[in-house]
Structure 1
């Protein structure tokens, strides 16, 4: 998923990656996502009126309760990263859907990998 930010006075809006993936049973932001998350943090720190919702997700393995907690840990990890890079904590809402909203309904590792994610939604 890509996010197109509104155009500013300087020209067209920037397109940013909107989905960040996680390893199995992990809530550690992958290094491969750092560059894009740095861009999100820059956008947020430049406009303190902007708000985002971080939606944490998990694959179907594990209990519903465990996956809700895991999705929340993932979203909180992204929030901590964004705040460390200059975004304000008050700009960021965290929610977890656990396994309830899969991106891929399959039952294989490749499907599960798509479901272990945090989505950034600008509001």
Structure 2
């Protein structure tokens, strides 16, 4: 008899709970689906400017990106920007540091001519020391010849 009571309790109580839940006349309330997330507004930000081999003159695609960067700086008047000049791996370290500096300065000068305060921009040259692409071919070198904009 002692073993029957625990067995009845373990079967009877859950069975009654199940029957009680099944016989309930209340309507089941389904939670409404969550609202959709707000639309993401992509604001054009700062982008890199690319250069031809051994050049610091601005290309047409670079001019368009610099206009976008200048517009971003005008919308974000409290922000400052560091313009990093980069080169591909060809050339000496000294030459590439000087070329990177010319590239960063050409980008800065263009943005200043568009009306952005030059005091909000700082330039630095990394030469070939911080490549974006690690390959040793023209496709990689073209990605490394750039002025990189870092907002602060």
**Same fold judged by TM-score > 0.5?**
yes
Task: Provide TM-score, normalisation by structure 2.
Answer: 0.69
- Give the number of the structure whose alpha-carbon radius of gyration is greater: 2
Q: Which has the higher strand share?
A: 1
Cα distance, 1:24 vs. partner? 0.3
The CA distance in 1 between the partners of 2:71 and 2:150, in whole Å, is 15
Aligned partner of residue 56 in structure 1, secondary structure: strand
Q: Which has the higher helix share?
A: 2
Instruction: Say which of 84, 103, 109 aligns to 1:80.
Output: 109
Pick 1 or 2: higher relative contact order, CA cutoff 8 A, min separation 6.
1
In the alignment of these two chains, the number of paired residues is 113
Structure 2 unaligned runs (5+)? 1-39
Contact 2:48-2:65 at 8 Å conserved across structures: no
The CA distance in 2 between the partners of 1:48 and 1:57, in whole Å, is 26
Report the counterpart of residue 142 of structure 2 in structure 1.
Answer: 113
The CA distance in 2 between the partners of 1:114 and 1:120, in whole Å, is 14
Report the counterpart of residue 98 of structure 2 in structure 1.
Answer: 69
Q: CA RMSD in A?
A: 1.6
Change (3 A) 1:47 1:105: closer
Cα distance, 1:25 vs. partner? 0.4
The CA distance in 1 between the partners of 2:144 and 2:51, in whole Å, is 9
